[in-house]
Structure 1
Amino acid sequence: MDLSALSLTELSDLQEQIKQEFKKRQKQEVVRAREQIIAIAQSVGVPLDELLGAGGGKVKTKTRKPVAVRYRHPDNSSLQWTGRGRQPQWVKDWLASGKSLDALGV
């Protein structure tokens, strides 16, 4: 097809036809893909809703239980630390002042 012979209006019309054809073919591909997925699920005996369900094949992780507080500031009981992870600043300050971590134990 020689596009150089077409007028600007004809090119614009052709562009619109291409957009419409592209959308139509995309929809057809989605329908075909859906049909293939359904056929595969049926061939292995897995219900489609289970295949695409809420789990989505994700590995279930255990929910972590809260850890008991192991250290508490003697003057301010709202300052607490479980002993896991980074030391809070108040623990670092406590240790920097020469006091022991055992003194904070619950």
Structure 2
Amino acid sequence: MIDKSELRKMSRKELEKLSNDVQKALTSAKAKDHREAKKAASKAAAEFGFSLGEIAEPASLPPGKAKKKAKTAKKPSKPAFANPANNAQTWTGKGRQPNWYRDQIAAGTAPEAMRIANQ
């Protein structure tokens, strides 16, 4: 192992060479670890009667079950309240209250009075 004091005495070229050697050693060690991990995983899969390739692939769907289709856009909610002063202004009752609704409530109008029939 190289001591810190030895590193301080080395030239830039020597340090760069050492750095390259360390990178090569790290790459080699990583490849070795990868091989050993793959070997251990294969052995573990074999204990259950599978090959590593069989468990690495996603399981196929049971017969008769199709993949779910992409979600379709939800239908917009039906309006539940209408502005008594302008029936074109409506609100579903979900989300933020529109200004006209808040103004009507502040003026004393009951929410049920603004409710649209057929709900």
Q: TM-score, normalised by structure 2?
A: 0.50
User: Do the aligned residues in 2 keep the contact of 1:38 with 1:48 (CA within 8 Å)?
Assistant: no
Select the structure of larger CA radius of gyration.
Answer: 2
How many angstroms apart in 2 are the aligned matches of 1:44 and 1:81? Answer: 61
* Deviating more after overlay: 3-12 vs 25-34: 25-34
Q: 2:12 aligns with which of 8, 23, 34?
A: 8
How many matched pairs? 95
Q: Hey, what does 2:79 align to over in structure 1?
A: 69
Q: Hey, what does 1:80 align to over in structure 2?
A: 90
Q: Does residue 48 of structure 1 match 2:56? A: yes
Secondary structure at the counterpart of residue 50 of structure 1: coil
Shift of 1:95: 0.7
* Deviating more after overlay: 92-101 vs 34-43: 34-43
Q: Hey, what does 1:55 align to over in structure 2?
A: none
Residues 42-101 of structure 1, C-alpha deviations (whole Å, 9 max, x = no match): 7487753326xxxxxxxxxx9895432211224152x33222344233211121122222
CA RMSD of aligned residues (A): 3.8
Percent identity, aligned pairs only, is 25
2:107 aligned partner, one-letter code: S
Secondary structure at the counterpart of residue 99 of structure 1: coil
Residues 7-51 of structure 1, C-alpha deviations (whole Å, 9 max, x = no match): 331111111222343344445555665676677677487753326
List gaps (5 residues or longer) in structure 2. Answer: 60-70
